[in-house]
Structure 1
Amino acid sequence: MIELKTPAEIEAMKPAGRFVGSILKELKEVTKVGTNLLEIDDIVRRRIESRKGAESCYVDYAPDFGTGPFRHYICTSVNDAVLHGVPYDYDLMDGDLVSLDLAVSVDGWCGDSAISFVVGNDPDPDDLRLIQCTEDALKAGIAAALPGNRLGDISAAIGEVAHEQGYSVNLEFGGHGIGRVMHADPHVANDGRAHHGYRLRPGLTIAIEPWFMKTTDEIYQDQKDGWTLRSADGSRGAHSEHTIAITEDGPQILTVRE
């Protein structure tokens, strides 16, 4: 069921969004060559534990697309891993493409956001182009999230950016409704038909999350951890995400990284 939030409830979601945004901003600044993925997870754990009313949306989360409960505080996907990456004992190397996906609740309201970046001083231009495409697609999707538009307008805007830049789109995973729980209706596909689907209304809060891979749209689940999704051909992936609210005045980004 799709739930619409009151203006007061949207205001109540903002602390969680700002908290998630601030953590991701910090992580991008401190994550360097040699940073261990478990260090990243520990930074997030300590930030959550130090914030009154904050709880991880990931620890003990056990949806049907994972294998058993998730045991970490953030998803860390590196290179050919694109979604749901499980932190493990790995020191990042020069040129690694890192995607960090974080969801936290504060006082019962959730915020969800993701960023991708390359560590080191000599990034592959193809990696930067892929990351930029996810960011461009995210901006296009947010711009289409206007009252009176359709859900398909968001999906079509995202897909158009991907296809124009030469990337194909996987439709197995995408954005989602968010509020008191991390994953709710509606599903927000990363490609679709404009002017189709649910009519967007003020009060709808969703996470929009374009993710693309360099040379494929096929993925497989890493059986070693039962969670990490990797590109079928070993090519790299990138992921960008914001939680937004649709209002009478247009979309508001709740997971700002100021």
Structure 2
Amino acid sequence: MKKLMIALVAAFSILPMFAVAAGGNVHLDKANYDLSDKASLQSGAKLFMNYCIACHSTGYQRYGRVATDLDIPEQLMKENLIFTDSKIGDLMHNSMNKKEAAQWFGAPPPDLTLVARVRGADWIYTYLRSFYADESRPFGVNNTVFPEVGMPHVLEELQGISTPTFEVTTDKNGVEHKKVVSLTSDESGEMSSDEYDEAVLNLVNFLVYAGEPNKLERQGMGVWVLAFLFVLFIVSYLLKKEYWRDIH
């Protein structure tokens, strides 16, 4: 019975690893974001407000909190980063009607407050750089990370249009399968490839911040907690030796 219980515990322990492994085989590029870089966060917030919030809200964040955390003057936030009649203390919702959005896109665009915690920064970074032209899709684009995505390439004016190069393989049943192996930009965007990558990284940085605004504070506090526990361990050990020295 004991061996059976150990086997069951081991099986359930490794199941999550198989689930992650089965989640997809798309290569994800590393997003080297930096939550201490206020300039990057401010640029990411600007991109989000200009290109994303019309469809995607961050409904668990407030305009005022973002302005304070990112060192954005309140008046500047009101004049340049709030495009509705929302007040500075309001949650960052948009005015898109969910029923209409479901008709346009197939499903209402999700709230992005926690997207970096759910998907991961690397996934977002790669996804926003992996759109390519596909006339068979409703918005004329597809994505290597999220095939048959229902979202248009909202950053197209910055990146331009990418053309895919396919690898065609035939399975044992004679059915052909096309796989995108590379993307080539037409350089028609306002930014160069390097500039666009940096802009996307700034946007990812902002979304990581949005998912956990106090992450840096938590990590900094964690160092002090570990240091305290280390000192407490030493004191406890010496106290234990003092109490037990007559017995041992």
| Interval of TM-score (by shorter of Structure 1 and Structure 2) | under 0.3
* Higher relative contact order (Cα pairs below 8 Å, separated by 6+ residues): 1
Greater strand share, 1 or 2?
1
TM-score by length of 2: 0.26
Q: Which structure is larger by alpha-carbon Rg, 1 or 2?
A: 2
Greater helix share, 1 or 2?
2
